[in-house]
Amino acid sequence: MFWPDLISKKLNIKYPIIQAPMFGVSTPEMVAASNKADCLGSLALADLSAEKSLELIHETRKLTDKPFAVNIFVHDIPEITDSLKEEFSKTKVFIEQFAKDNNIDVELPDLTDIKVNTYHELIDVIIEKNCKIVSYTFGNLDEKSIHKLKQNDVILIGTCTCVEEALMLEKSGIDIICVQGIEAGGHRGTFNTETIPQIGGLSLLSQVFDCVNVPLIYAGGIYNSKTLSAAKELGAQGFQVGSILLASQESALLKFEKERLKNVTEKDIMLTRSFSGRYARGIKNKYIEAIEDSEYILPYPYQNKLTNELRKVSKSLNNTDFVSIWVGQSIHDYSEHSTEDILKKLIKDCEL
């Protein structure tokens, strides 16, 4: 038998393949399509409000009666100081002017307009809606939240990007650890926003496997049977895929963004803090080149909230130079078939 079954049994799925949450890309339709392929769909709640999260869970439940994970962000929220207020104002003015110089008229929010949500308000939502699988990133849940979720029989999947983080997750009683390699698309799951461990995924997976006794999911660079088999050989019992679904029918990316994917090259993909204040891997563009090494990057999530409107307006203009297109290092054909078909093909190729 090709597939390890420990995680499959734990998550009540046939194949231990997890659709990456990919906030801003995944949709309830993608979750349902992943479930149809007998894999685990992941609904990205990120740092949304309780009300919006309830709406998304309800929408997803209308499309699938199979289990799916909900994914939340567990980052620390920086204190609003006089220094942050000054930095925010300066960054807002600079980005608005830079956008205007590039024919984009946009009014970014003031700091007082920004609502920052903590994950704590989602814990009760998750329990109330009887969500039994929770994955999370950017840190670890606090002890009280872990206890509360465990009391309600919720399976917890934490994300690590180094051995130290994996050990912290194991010590806190997490059921499954997702090991995220540096090659993965999108945001790093790193606990620290300022410095990120730049460890190749397979090297990290092997080290984590040697150090913890918790079942491991591997995420980073999996796009075909060979890359999945390599992760399996090094100890992964689950496999998280994201970039192979970016251009799928159910992806929230727009047509012009999917077209940009088709033309991406190795030199185009980089790690950047320019859009969100946290390191994320995506396609280099004019905005990133101007902001990345500048003084105009606020701490997460304030940079992320500030630039949301810029990205929204740029999407409406089909402007690839001012949107964030997150993608991993494994360049491939970015199939536009359904998520279900893409995952079924991966499964079939692995079983040949």
Per-residue pLDDT band for 7 (boundaries 50, 70, 90) equals very high
Per-residue model confidence (pLDDT) at position 140: 98
Sign for the CA dihedral angle at 71, 75, 81, 86 comes to negative
Per-residue model confidence (pLDDT) at position 154: 98
Q: Which residues contact 314 (CB under 8 A, 6 or more apart)?
A: 104, 321, 322, 323
Mean pLDDT (the chain, rounded): 97
pLDDT tens-digit map of 273-301: 999 999 999 999 999 999 999 999 999 99
- The amino acid sitting at 28 is P
Per-residue pLDDT band for 194 (boundaries 50, 70, 90) equals confident
Per-residue pLDDT band for 231 (boundaries 50, 70, 90) equals very high
Percent of the chain with pLDDT over 70: 100
**Strands in the chain per DSSP E:** 17-19, 41-46, 68-73, 133-137, 155-160, 176-180, 186-187, 216-219, 238-241, 269-272, 280-283
Give the helix/strand (H/E) hosting 92. Answer: helix 82-101
Per-residue pLDDT band for 213 (boundaries 50, 70, 90) equals very high
pLDDT tens-digit map of 122-166: 999 999 999 999 999 999 999 999 999 999 999 999 999 999 999
Instruction: Set out the domains of the chain in order of their start, with CATH numbers.
Output: 1-77+116-251+332-352 (3.20.20.70), 78-115+254-324 (no CATH)
pTM above 0.85, yes or no: yes
Whole-number Å distance between alpha carbons of 218 and 159? 10
The DSSP output letter for 295 is S
Sign for the CA dihedral angle at 250, 251, 257, 260 comes to negative
Per-residue pLDDT, averaged over 176-192, amounts to 96
Per-residue model confidence (pLDDT) at position 170: 98
Per-residue pLDDT, averaged over 193-212, amounts to 93
